[in-house]
Structure 1
Amino acid sequence: MSALLEVAGVSVSFDGFKAINDLSFEIDPASLRAIIGPNGAGKTTFMDIVTGKTRPDKGRVTWGEHNISLLRKSEAEIARLGIGRKFQRPTVFEDQTVFENLIMALKNPRNTWSTLFYKRTEPDIERVEGLAREIGLISELRRRSGELSHGQKQWLEIGMLLAQDPQLLLVDEPAAGMTVGEREHTTRLLREVAKTRSVIVVEHDMEFVRQLNCRVTVLHEGSVLAEGSLDHVTNDQRVIEVYLGRSGER
């Protein structure tokens, strides 16, 4: 099976600081991966490169079975190819209902004409209801999004990404600020999503990563330090030294 996403020999520097250093990484279709690492390891820069926000100094980033180079694509083009990104803080339209947020996010034509004359169709409504069930917000469809809890807003944003029908989701620290119950729901949601599409979770919370029960990649100084199960990587002496012997943030 060929990789869905392949990052090969990628490096990028900012003012002489090498944020990513000869990084090679790949993820298969319909799989779940957690990326961990100390502050300054390159986790955010990795996501920025994949989504087109940052251009690397060298290396290649290819997508899908046809090995499309993402380095020649804009952020919007990369999103249309099927890569969605969720930032740590939820960004939903708080004055709109859950239903309205989801229906606005549906993968429909986005030119001026189609937007002006868009009319809700029965398939669109059914799709929104299906998404709401998937993310656990079916009973909140008519509620203003600003009234949702922090965790519910996170789920809504995941639902808005799913509405675009991506093949890969990049999710940044989804467990931050959640209650225990919300974290458990988020674990189930991400594991379920990963049955049909790929999910990369960047996370600091080791207990949340353990609950995901997936392959883990450890980044350090912009490179892959270790890969495997959480137990495997946390017993790696190099990983122990990096987490216990390093401080500072970038």
Structure 2
Amino acid sequence: MTEPVTPTLLYLDNVTVSFDGFKALNALSLALDHTEMRAIIGPNGAGKTTMMDVITGKTRPNQGTVLFEGKHDLTSLDEAEIAELGIGRKFQTPTVFDMHSIEDNLLLALKGERGPFSALLSRHTNQESERIDALLERVRLTAHRQRRAGELSHGQKQWLEIGMLLAQEPKLLLVDEPAAGMTDQETADTADLLRDIAKTRSVVVVEHDMTFVRELDVKVTCLHEGSVLAEGPLDAVSANERVIEVYLGR
């Protein structure tokens, strides 16, 4: 059977996931272009997390197509294989090595052939040092490189984990509620950071904070009951009567 050809980076078509008769995803279709950032919104239970679980191989769909780069069938791969293709996921709660420095957290995450902790026992190369310097600058943590990760604010930990994902050189980042628990300034800085990242790779942001979504200034997809309810610019989606009814309220 010939795989469908698509110019998009990520292509979901007619994806359905059922748990004991409940359809967490119901014939979901979605396409994401290269270097596109997309905001995914919707009420609790809309299928946002299940969608990310399917993309990363944590959950197998009952039916449907999930293609990456037009050729990789994600439904036939495990989580490690999908990560190797260049799909990284950041959960809502930051997962960093609290007792290690920020620099060492990034060193552990660098894409390479070495075992992770052996990286800390050997001197890193000039190329690795330059990569870490660039990552620290990109996630706004250059001044904190020798601090222990556990000393960072919640927002800074979010940035560090995004930096650790970028160290793996992904083509697609899935980011779950990055603005949760942040100060107003951290929220604005995070929007700037994600916009910067989206210049070179694709980003999917699941978020409830509509102020943050507006700052991202990207196409919005609203999910409801496992399907796409509305899609387009935030103003158009926010004005949709069904979106108002099931999610935004009046």
Give 3-state SS (helix, strand or coil) of 2:247's partner.
Answer: helix
Give 3-state SS (helix, strand or coil) of 2:39's partner.
Answer: strand
Give the one of 166, 186, 191 matched to 1:187: 191
Matching of residues 101-112 of structure 1 within 5 Å: 101-110=105-114
Query: 1:33 is aligned with what amino acid?
Result: R
Identity of aligned residues (%): 60
Superposed CA RMSD in Å reads: 1.7
Residues of 2 paired with 1:111 and 1:129: CA distance?
21
CA drift of 1:122 comes to 0.8
Residue of structure 1 in register with 2:130 after alignment: 126
Matching of residues 65-214 of structure 1 within 5 Å: 65=70, 67-110=71-114, 119-214=123-218
Give the one of 217, 220, 226 matched to 1:216: 220
Residue of structure 1 in register with 2:234 after alignment: 230
Instruction: String of CA shifts for 1:109-143, please: whole Å, max 9, x gaps.
Output: 14599769854101101100100000000000000
Query: 2:41 is aligned with what amino acid?
Result: I
Give 3-state SS (helix, strand or coil) of 2:35's partner.
Answer: coil
Residues of 2 paired with 1:87 and 1:127: CA distance?
24
Residues of 1 paired with 2:191 and 2:32: CA distance?
19
Residues of 1 paired with 2:212 and 2:119: CA distance?
40
Give the one of 23, 29, 32 matched to 1:18: 23
Residues of 2 paired with 1:53 and 1:62: CA distance?
15
Instruction: String of CA shifts for 1:163-193, please: whole Å, max 9, x gaps.
Output: 0000000000000000011001100000000
Residues of 1 paired with 2:120 and 2:130: CA distance?
22
Residue of structure 2 in register with 1:35 after alignment: 40
Residue of structure 2 in register with 1:54 after alignment: 59
TM-score by length of 1: 0.94
Give 3-state SS (helix, strand or coil) of 1:195's partner.
Answer: coil
Counting matched residue pairs gives 244
Residues of 2 paired with 1:31 and 1:244: CA distance?
25
CA drift of 1:16 comes to 1.1
Query: 1:200 is aligned with what amino acid?
Result: V
CA drift of 1:45 comes to 0.2
Pair 1:45-2:50 in alignment: yes
Residues of 2 paired with 1:41 and 1:112: CA distance?
37
CA drift of 1:219 comes to 0.2
Query: 2:39 is aligned with what amino acid?
Result: A
CA drift of 1:60 comes to 1.0
CA drift of 1:238 comes to 1.2
Query: 1:189 is aligned with what amino acid?
Result: L
CA drift of 1:242 comes to 1.1
Give the one of 68, 72, 76 matched to 1:63: 68
Residue of structure 2 in register with 1:248 after alignment: none
- The answer to whether the 8 A contact 2:108-2:117 is kept is no
- For structure 2, which runs of at least 5 residues remain unmatched after alignment? 1-5
Residue of structure 1 in register with 2:3 after alignment: none
